[in-house]
Structure 1
Amino acid sequence: MTAGHGRTADGGHGRDAGEDTVDRAFAAALYSDDDTGLDTGASLLAADPDADTELGRRGEDLLTTAWRRGWQPADVVRMVRRELTDAQERLTILLIGRETPRHDPLPPRWDGQLRALGARPAASAPGDPLPRAPRDHPDRFSWATAVLELYRLLLRLPAVEPVGPLPGEPLTMPFAGEPRTLARIRALLAKAEATTFPEEAEALSAKAQELMARHSVDEALLAARTHAKDVPGACRIGVDAPYETAKAVLLDTVATANHCRAVWNGDLGFSTVVGFASDLDAVELLYTSLLVQGTTAMTRAEAAQRAAGRKRTKTFRQSFLAAYAHRVGDRLTATAREVTSTVPESLPVLAAREVAVAGHVDSMFPRTTSTRLRGVTDAAGWDEGTRAGDSVSLRGRGRGDRAGHGPGRLTDGDD
């Protein structure tokens, strides 16, 4: 048999020493939780540079399996960021760049995720070893340990609800990129986040929400008039610590106001938002901007409290964000009637869409529970958060009170 991946005399596929090394390292490290097994596996890999090619291929295979289990690149990197180190996050992004060229086409939202992550597609030849970054891991043992820790996490990722086609699957409808209206909304919100003048931020946010409302109504009416086969979809949005429960409430509020539904998975650090495509884009844009604006306002409020000699606590911040989410939700709901009343023919269309969204949520998450926000006990934090919610002064759209979701409650996926 020739060296490498040759053929044996009986026609079987030959195995080189690198594959055997990786098998033994995986057996020692990936299926146990103790450090002894991890050290054994890392020692085997550190002593055999010829195993680096197979090690890279196995990492790409683990990512392919993760996609089949419903994960997407942003989800995987978010989980690595939560559980492991910055160096392992960079390694994950590198592996994603090596793995994604395997698939054509990629799902529509993947291109944006890859750009945001900086995961540059880099097709790897079968003989390309998994590289080691000396700045992250100066020696092979520390590098091998980090790789095995990452692979152990990837191996144990649970199956999650799919929110789009798998990479490589044919797309069911053409995707022409981001609509011009959403690009304008994105620019307005970016300016609102950057300005130091509250009045300017208020005006910019109001204009952005108005454009969102008009865009959603236009899309819904166009689909109804053309009898387009437009059905609800879903996306996942990260909800990161700290104060993740309050952030999930904010996302739930924004989703509900934009004809979507959000289901939070606290264990995995994301919410799944279900709705029609144009509304999903609006929810992600608006939630991200409101979170930035709310965090900035919270920082200012804390500074003012400290200047007055009052110590601020975690409870203050939790109460601030909860009140902020509640007040923003009230304002979005109040402005709903203003927008939809100008286009009365949209009311039955939007109502039908909300029924479709609710049905899609039930099919994706047959079991959910309601989670109530706790730790909202700081009156000063609540008052400051309410004032911050008032300052946003969005003139957008929403719908009536959320059935089954009072203030401070959200839907939690029961996995």
Structure 2
Amino acid sequence: MGFDKLEVVRKLLAKAERAATPEEAASYTDKAVQLSARHGIDAALLAAADPGRDHPRAQRIPVHDPYSAGKARLLAWTATALGCRAVLHQARGGRVGAVSVVGFAADRERVELLYTSLLLQAGAQLARQRPPAGESVAAYRRSWLHGFAVQVHRRLSEAERGAAEAGPGPGAPTSTAVALAERAARVESAFAAAFPAPEPARGRSLSGSGYGPGTAAGERADLGGTGLAARPRGRIGA
């Protein structure tokens, strides 16, 4: 992400964190999300004008327990919303050891920034969550995290579509639709080359009642990330 845009996003999100009301925080957050999406369109247009400036590559990102499968879905769905492809690397006992994200460097950077921020947010919120009496804490948290990831994916996808529909800025040599189509084709080609036979995703039923609260948390989640360079990757609380 360009330095100027990244700095603006960080400042908007810092204001959201200090906001006096949820409505004020949401206003700053929405602006940050829109700017991040706009960056994705700008990067696509720059790449279309100069195809040699950036190439889609695979980046393997480790995923740790607890709730590695839920974290992996959050990462993979964030990646797909931002124009990348993802494959989950399964481990024993239904766990996921890592996720490989295939995409252009500008988009992979956005994915990693957002995922790091979302993981920290989810961890902080899950630490305060309590399931109904008699329900397994682990089951509740798995379903909560699933709902959180679903809602985050929806919000990011909407922001990306909105930025694409707004069209290119003045003087852009390539239409947004053409640039995005070419970009998607190059990502698909790189994904097929890197993973000609990707591991099949394992279906998993979730029995906990945390899906609804998780989607509500995903609706409120800060989708930009601020101060991430100084933060380690979070671990969702046990």
Q: Shorter chain as normaliser: what TM range?
A: 0.7 to 0.9
- Two-structure CA RMSD over aligned residues (Å): 2.9
How much has 1:218 moved relative to structure 2? 1.0
Larger RCO (CA within 8 A; separation ≥ 6) = 2
One-letter amino acid of the counterpart of residue 300, structure 1: R
Q: Tell me: CA distance 1:194–1:260, structure 2 relative to 1, closer, same or farther (3 Å).
A: farther
- Name the counterpart of 2:235: none
Q: Tell me: CA distance 1:192–1:322, structure 2 relative to 1, closer, same or farther (3 Å).
A: farther
Does structure 2 conserve the Cα–Cα contact (< 8 Å) formed by 1:192 and 1:201? yes
Q: Tell me: CA distance 1:341–1:318, structure 2 relative to 1, closer, same or farther (3 Å).
A: same
What's the CA shift string for 1:241-291, capped at 9, x where partnerless? 111101111111110111011222243832121111111110001111112
- 1:137-216 alignment to 2 at 5 Å? 179-186=3-10, 188-189=12-13, 198-216=22-40
Does structure 2 conserve the Cα–Cα contact (< 8 Å) formed by 1:273 and 1:280? yes
Do residues 361 (structure 1) and 191 (structure 2) align?
A: yes
Do residues 351 (structure 1) and 188 (structure 2) align?
A: no
Does structure 2 conserve the Cα–Cα contact (< 8 Å) formed by 1:328 and 1:392? yes
- Name the counterpart of 1:385: 214
- Name the counterpart of 2:58: 234
Q: Tell me: CA distance 1:253–1:227, structure 2 relative to 1, closer, same or farther (3 Å).
A: closer
What's the CA shift string for 1:312-363, capped at 9, x where partnerless? 5100000000111011112222333322111162112111111111111111
Q: Distance in 2 between matches of 1:287 and 1:195?
A: 23
Aligned length: 214
> 384-393 or 315-324, which moves further after superposition?
384-393
One-letter amino acid of the counterpart of residue 384, structure 1: P
What's the CA shift string for 1:208-230, capped at 9, x where partnerless? 22121111111211222245453
- Name the counterpart of 1:337: 161
- 1:316-327 alignment to 2 at 5 Å? 316-327=140-151
Q: Which structure 1 segments of 5+ residues have no match?
A: 1-176, 396-415
* Counterpart pick for 1:276 among 92, 96, 104: 104
One-letter amino acid of the counterpart of residue 179, structure 1: F
Specify the SS of the correspondent of 2:9: helix
Q: Distance in 2 between matches of 1:322 and 1:202?
A: 22
One-letter amino acid of the counterpart of residue 358, structure 1: E
How much has 1:207 moved relative to structure 2? 2.5
Q: Distance in 1 between matches of 2:202 and 2:29?
A: 29
TM-score w.r.t. length of structure 1: 0.46
- Name the counterpart of 1:247: 71
Does structure 1 conserve the Cα–Cα contact (< 8 Å) formed by 2:79 and 2:101? yes
Q: From the CA coordinates, give the structure whose radius of gyration is larger.
A: 1
Q: Distance in 2 between matches of 1:240 and 1:195?
A: 32
Specify the SS of the correspondent of 1:368: coil
Q: Which structure 2 segments of 5+ residues have no match?
A: 169-174, 225-238
- Name the counterpart of 1:294: 122
- Name the counterpart of 2:172: none
Q: Distance in 2 between matches of 1:361 and 1:385?
A: 31
Does structure 2 conserve the Cα–Cα contact (< 8 Å) formed by 1:324 and 1:389? yes
One-letter amino acid of the counterpart of residue 122, structure 2: G
